[in-house]
Amino acid sequence: MQLTPPPLPAGAKCKRCSGRGQMRLPSHNTIFCSDCFLLFCRNAVAKAMKKFGIPRETDLLVAVSGGKDSLAVWDILNELGYRTRGVHVNLGIDTFSDESVRAVEEFASSRNLPWSSHSIADLLGWTIDEIRPRTRRSICSICGAIKRQMLNRLAVDLGYGTVVSGHNLDDEAGRLLGNILRNRTQYFDKQYPYLPSPHPRMPAKLKPLYRLESHELRAYCHFASIRPHSASCPYARGASSHKVKEALNLLETKMPGTKRDFLFSYLRNRKPPQTDLSELRLCEKCGAPSWLPVCSVCALKAQLDAKRGEPEPRPEG
Ligand code: FES
Ligand code: ZN
């Protein structure tokens, strides 16, 4: 269930400038015109940057998938005067990956922003489409680990100390609820929108959209003339994280502001977590920071390479 804000009452006015109301925000009990709404979104990001003490002169590497959230965060940081560079990880998922490169390319050239695309096939020798039929593990968690490692590497190689991602309030509230439901207390500490760099080869991770809801970002792209790709990853269908978000959206429609209150009350009085590095080492094969002698990506690559030459597994279904 996607949250769609209720329609605007006839003749609604912007509560900030009294112009024509175009966007209703039930969780803030307010209505904005398009300009005031864009300002509201930019202020939410500026507030996050101030809270985490990220000065304007910080160079930021923005991980962009071509979806609404990553393009919106890139646009807003650029509008706020940060120096940004986009980096796209090409996963090699049929149609979806081509669409995502197209959206990033179109946006970057419209704003004249630097960016580059890097294929996981160059890192691993395998695409996500090739890995999926060859593993029993969840492809989403494999994909997440590969992306994390690739982004760490790219940040180090390109000389960036901070990687920005487009996770929004729905993502963060959903993740928190998912961890609470399964009592995964070991992840609680890491649930914070800013993780400072714990190691020279592990850049800081920043989620400046954690104050904005998914539907607000969809509207931001519309009013800022951004054309994100609309496809969602074909492998994410039915993921439990989606169901948790749906449950939160159901509550949100009955009790506007629930998601915000839930996440913000959890984050209140928390500080950016410190990572204990006493057990950290460098992967014997690739030199990436790892908790085991061989990192998870190199271990996966070895498994896949051992099967190279075997007949292609049949597609499922
Ligand atoms: Fe990685 Fe869907 S985006 S598996
Ligand atoms: Zn490795």
pLDDT 10s digits, 224-265: 999 999 878 898 876 788 899 999 999 999 999 999 999 999
pTM: 0.93
Ligand 1: which residue has its CA nearest to atom 3?
A: 233
Q: What is the pLDDT of residue 276?
A: 81
Ligand 1 site residues, Cβ closer than 6 angstroms: 91, 128, 139-140, 143, 233, 235-236
Ligand 1 mutation target, pool 233, 237, 240, 241, most atoms within 8 A of CB: 233
Using 50 as the pLDDT threshold, list the residues of the chain that sit under it: 317
234 to 64, 91, 131, 132, 237: CA distances (angstroms):
18, 12, 14, 12, 6
- The Cα–Cα gap between 113 and 59 comes to 13
Q: What is the pLDDT of residue 225?
A: 97
Query: Domain 54-231 adopts which CATH fold?
Result: Rossmann fold (3.40.50)
Domain coordinates in residue numbering, the chain: 54-231, 280-311
pLDDT 10s digits, 110-126: 999 999 999 999 989 99
Q: Are 31 and 219 in contact (CB under 8 A)?
A: no
Ligand 1: which residue has its CA nearest to atom 1?
A: 143
- The Cα–Cα gap between 93 and 81 comes to 34
Residue 17 CA to ligand 1 center (angstroms) comes to 42
Q: What angle do CA 89, 95, 297 make, to 5 degrees?
A: 35
Q: What is the pLDDT of residue 317?
A: 43
DSSP letters, the chain, are: ----PPPPPTT-B-TTT-SB--EEEGGGTEEE-HHHHHHHHHHHHHHHHHHTT--TT-EEEEE--SSHHHHHHHHHHHHTT-EEEEEEEE---TTHHHHHHHHHHHHHHHHT--EEEEEHHHHHS--HHHHGGG-SS-HHHHHHHHHHHHHHHHHHHHT-SEEE----HHHHHHHHHHHHHTT-GGGGGG-SSEE---BTTB-EEE-TTTTS-HHHHHHHHHHTT--------TT-TT-HHHHHHHHHHHHHHHSTTHHHHHHHHHHTT--PPPP--TT-EE-TTT--EESSSS-HHHHHHHHHHHTTTSPPPPPP-
Q: What is the pLDDT of residue 9?
A: 84
Return residues with CB closer than 5 A to ligand 2 (ion): 283, 285-286, 288, 295, 298
Q: What is the pLDDT of residue 3?
A: 66
Ligand 1: which residue has its CA nearest to atom 4?
A: 140
Residue 140 CA to ligand 1 center (angstroms) comes to 5
> What atom in ligand 1 is closest to the CA of residue 236?
2
Ligand 1 mutation target, pool 88, 143, 146, 232, most atoms within 8 A of CB: 143
Q: What is the pLDDT of residue 190?
A: 82
